[in-house]
Structure 1
């Protein structure tokens, strides 16, 4: 049974201030919880319905520090989902103090992507294309926001996300930097490498002017219809697809 103290604590993790203060975050629903149980994340609490717990392998349950059987209403009270018939996990954040940019892979850099749904979807897209590293600007949405975790559909367990001053990162790398700009070369005609940094910009403003000088190859997706713009997550998918053709 959940105590009032634990309910208050778990609900506090919906706020960035308390997440980062305690270095804990929430994972909700059958898909997300299943993924995190199979990952190397440390799981402090697992709130689970009896039905869902019976479906979990014993070795996965043994990884959890404390398992608490709850009702669906308890899960709704503590989490952000309107309905949740499975589980909710309280997970420890990983150490992200050391940023390693692989020189033989493509890395994503996100400049001021503020919508949690967009960030979560981009993480899922990155996972689809085998991108292991994403570097976000300090102003970007919080990786541990429940909306980001939920939108990633479990891909947060396989993609490393760092927060850094992008100006410092881009000015120090020797890798080619591809930037999505309206003035860029047609992506379908571009010569693309299998390593480098792909820089995507803010949902409405695009890439910050201060970062443009660090772009060595600017690209754009040619418009054939009348739509004013593309969602940043969709644009990321289109561009990444061309890197791997």
Structure 2
């Protein structure tokens, strides 16, 4: 049975303030927890319900009601771990460095990390106001890919000045990504879901690129940020592999 002290400590990690204080974060789900353990993350706590106890033999067995109390998700997983936050990694310009300019939705950000992993992007640069990497919903949506992508939070414009490379920004109005030869190494900037790329970041952009619309009425306002990222990254990888 979980003590009140441990329950309170774990549920406090649902909030960024306490994750930073404790230097701990929650991960839930068989795949996510397994991948983080395999990647060398240290588990401060590991809990499982009866159905997955055999797979996680070192875990503490708790019942489903207890798991629901400590879970940060609407539907509790049968496995929950509390991991230590590793030391922050320094920024390193990659062949393609994806830049998140204030992305706030945890699901979008976690999916973006997963996309980076899929397309072999090892560096994700984030504006300081981008959603926290260790938000439980980000961790869940990344599906373990956070273990393979360096996520760095620092000023975007200063970083580009100190480590210069071509800078491409995703806009509604820009040159079609399908008509470009995109140089690498480079930065690919993706903006906030509601407001796009902020003006101070836009000053660093070398070229504005866009995804053309083919619908007859042209009434769709925009694409989800992760959908746009997937299309652009796929095109960048396609053209670079053909050179």
Per the normalisation by structure 1, the TM-score is 0.91
Query: Aligned in 2, Cα 1:110/1:135: closer, same or farther, shift over 3 Å?
Result: same
**Residue 230 of structure 1: aligned partner:** 223
Cα distance in 1 for partners of 2:98, 2:186 equals 9
* Pair 1:84-2:63 in alignment: no
**Residue 206 of structure 2: aligned partner:** 216
Cα distance in 1 for partners of 2:105, 2:152 equals 17
CA RMSD of aligned residues (A): 1.5
**Residue 241 of structure 2: aligned partner:** none
What do the CA deviations read for 1:98-118 (whole angstroms, capped 9, x no partner)? 22223xx21111101111111
Cα distance in 1 for partners of 2:221, 2:91 equals 36
Cα distance in 1 for partners of 2:193, 2:77 equals 34
**Residue 23 of structure 1: aligned partner:** 23
Structure 1 runs of 4+ with >6 Å offset: none
Is the CA contact (8 Å cut-off) linking 1:47 and 1:70 kept in structure 2? yes
Cα distance in 2 for partners of 1:76, 1:214 equals 46
Q: How many residues align?
A: 235
| Structure 1 runs not aligned, ≥5 long | 62-66
**Residue 106 of structure 1: aligned partner:** 96
Give 3-state SS (helix, strand or coil) of 1:224's partner: coil
- Measure how far apart 1:154 and its partner are: 1.6
Is the CA contact (8 Å cut-off) linking 1:28 and 1:88 kept in structure 2? yes
**Residue 123 of structure 2: aligned partner:** 133
* Pair 1:68-2:60 in alignment: yes
Cα distance in 2 for partners of 1:244, 1:133 equals 15
- Measure how far apart 1:242 and its partner are: 0.6
What do the CA deviations read for 1:18-48 (whole angstroms, capped 9, x no partner)? 0011110000111211211211211111011
- Measure how far apart 1:83 and its partner are: 3.5
What do the CA deviations read for 1:100-158 (whole angstroms, capped 9, x no partner)? 223xx211111011111110111111111111111110111111101111111121121
Give 3-state SS (helix, strand or coil) of 1:199's partner: strand
